[in-house]
Chain A
Amino acid sequence: EPEVTQTPSHQVTQMGQEVILRCVPISNHLYFYWYRQILGQKVEFLVSFYNNEISEKSEIFDDQFSVERPDGSNFTLKIRSTKLEDSAMYFCASSQWAERESYEQYFGPGTRLTVT
């Protein structure tokens, strides 16, 4: 069964460093998302992406964040200068546009980002 994959599973970085989190969505999906879950808190929407541009972003997704689909398979989240409060589990998700089933978002296993 097709699945969303994410790498790395765990990333440790120092405050102020740049990180890139990588995702490979399900191959025939057209919509891509990033969410994050700070330990003990709710899963929060960060950004949605379609047709090579951001379709919606939350207030969390400030200028330090960017997303890119550099080729036909990868979808990346970059944090330009990490802060301690960026430590969280980051989930990538994808969904397929279809007449009735378009809104099922399939999630990857997550990347745990630890900023020290």
Chain B
Amino acid sequence: GEDVEQSLFLSVREGDSSVINCTYTDSSSTYLYWYKQEPGAGLQLLTYIFSNMDMKQDQRLTVLLNKKDKHLSLRIADTQTGDSAIYFCAESTSSGGYNKLIFGAGTRLAVHP
């Protein structure tokens, strides 16, 4: 069945780059997403990538997709303390416009001075 796996914890120093990794199983996934969840808050859509792309860059965020290995990564350049949050990878498949998101367990990013 569909499954998304992520490492649970990442600690980085402020100013360094963070790389959060994710693997997924459903090869028919059309979109892959990164969501951010800050304490007590909902899920904020950060970025997404369509499955026919290899890379997408959006300011400090770079998403890399390796379809062959079913591997997705999110790189945050110049990580700041405000980036401390849980980051969720999610995949979706679409059938007739209806889709559901399958989430990973989330990676807790801790940024320290």
Contacts and interface: CB of A to CB of B under 8 A. Distances in A.
B45 interface: yes
Interface string B16-60: 000000000000001101010000011111001000000000000
Contacts, number: 56
B99 A106 contact: no
A104 B47 CA distance: 9
* Residue of A43, A45, A48 ringed by the most chain B CB atoms within 10 A: A43
Query: What is the interface of chain B mostly: helix, strand, loop, or mixed?
Result: strand
Interface of A: 4, 31, 33, 35, 41-45, 48, 50, 55-56, 58, 91, 93, 97, 102-110
A106 B45 CA distance: 7
Contacts of A55: 98
B48 A104 contact: yes
B47 to A, nearest CB: 10
A43 B88 contact: yes
A3 to B, nearest CB: 9
B100 A103 contact: no
Contact of A103 (B41, B92, B105, B106): B92
